[in-house]
Amino acid sequence: MRNTVRLAAVLLTICVVTSGLLAFVDGLTSAQIEENAAAEASRLRGEALVGSGREVEFGEAREVGNLVCYEGTMNGKPVGTVFTAISEKGYGGPIKVIVGVDPTGEKITGVRIAEHTETPGLGANIVQVRTGEDEPWFLKQFGGLTVDRIALKPQGAIDAITAATISSTAVTDAVREGFEEFVKARTAQQGAE
C-alpha cells in the first residue's frame, strides 16, 4: 500500500513538472511561431502578385464581399489584390489557395497554395516545381487568365495533373469561385461609390 501511494506521488510530481515545462516552452515559442506564420503568409501573398524574389508591401486586411483582401504595393505603386479561397473538395481534405489579381481586377496574376493535405506524388503535385523553373507548373497556368477561362481543359485553359483530377479540380474551382466572388463584390462596391 505504501509503495502504491509513493509511486502515485512520484507519478503526480512528474506530471506536474512536465506540464509546467510544456507550458513554459509554449510561452517562449508561440510568439515566434505566429511571427513565422505571418511572414510565410505575406511571402505567399507577394508571390501570388509578382512572383518570387520581390518584396511586396501590404496594407491592412479589408473585406470585399465575403473575402478578406490585401492590397499590394511595390515602390508605392499598386500591384494588385490578393485573397484566400478554400476548397473543401480536395482528395486529402481542404485546400487553401491564395489568389493574386491585377490592379484592374480583371486578371489573375498568380496562385499559391497556403495549405493542403493531398497525397504525396499525386495530388501534392499541385505545388510541384519542375527542374529549371521557379514556380509550380500547375499553378503557373492561372497567370493572366480572366474568370471565364478558369476551368480544366477542354472547357477552360488549365491542364489537370495526371492521376490527380480531384486535386486539380478542387484548386481550379476554388480559384474560379473566389475570383467570381471578388469580381462581383468589387463591382457592387464600385457601383455604390
Does 117 have pLDDT greater than 80?
yes
pLDDT tens sequence across 18-34: 988 888 888 888 888 89
Q: What does pTM read for this prediction?
A: 0.84
Q: Taken in order 148, 180, 117, 90, is the CA torsion positive or negative? A: negative
For the segment 135-160, the average pLDDT, to the nearest whole number, is: 95
Please tell me whether residue 119 adopts helix, strand or coil conformation: coil
Q: Taken in order 26, 84, 56, 130, is the CA torsion positive or negative? A: positive
> Which residue, among 171, 190, 186, has the nearest Cα to 124 in the 3D structure?
171
Rg (CA), the chain: 22
Please indicate whether residue 19 or residue 1 has the higher confidence score (pLDDT): 19
* CA separation for the pair 128, 122 (Å, rounded): 10
For the segment 63-88, the average pLDDT, to the nearest whole number, is: 94
Mean pLDDT taken over the chain:
92
Domain spans of the chain, in order of start: 49-192
Out of 8-22, 78-92, 98-112, 150-164, least confident range:
8-22
Q: What is the pLDDT of residue 74?
A: 94
For the segment 123-152, the average pLDDT, to the nearest whole number, is: 94
